[in-house]
Amino acid sequence: MKNINEKAYTDKEKVVLLSLVEEYGVCIENKKTDGSSIQEKHEAWEKIASHYNVQPEVNIYRTSKQLNKLWDNLKQSYNN
């Protein structure tokens, strides 16, 4: 089993995340903050994490929270 670790993401891991975010982007980028929308976003991030962690390019287990943070960081670096 893969360990939860705070090591840096590889470029391959970032590509895997980007491909998964593309699939769930409409949901996770929804600006609504009502309970239903928040729950949908949470479920989408859990699905992303599940799909992410079974990819052969991924060697370190990442939580949905870690992946969400990486996504936020990637968006920030792209916008700067």
- For residue 39, what are the domain limits? 11-79
Total structural domains in the chain?
A: 1
Indicate whether 60 belongs to any domain. yes
Beta bridge partners of 4: 61
Indicate whether 68 belongs to any domain. yes
The 10 Å CB-count burial string (b at 16+, else e) for 15-52 is ebbeebbeebeeebeeeeeeeeeeebbeebbeebbebb
Q: Is the pLDDT of residue 1 over 50?
A: no
Q: Is the pLDDT of residue 3 over 60?
A: no
Indicate whether 32 belongs to any domain. yes
Q: Is the pLDDT of residue 25 over 70?
A: yes
Indicate whether 49 belongs to any domain. yes
Quote the mean pLDDT of the chain. Answer: 91
More confident residue, 7 or 57: 57
Looking at residue 78, its pLDDT comes to 79
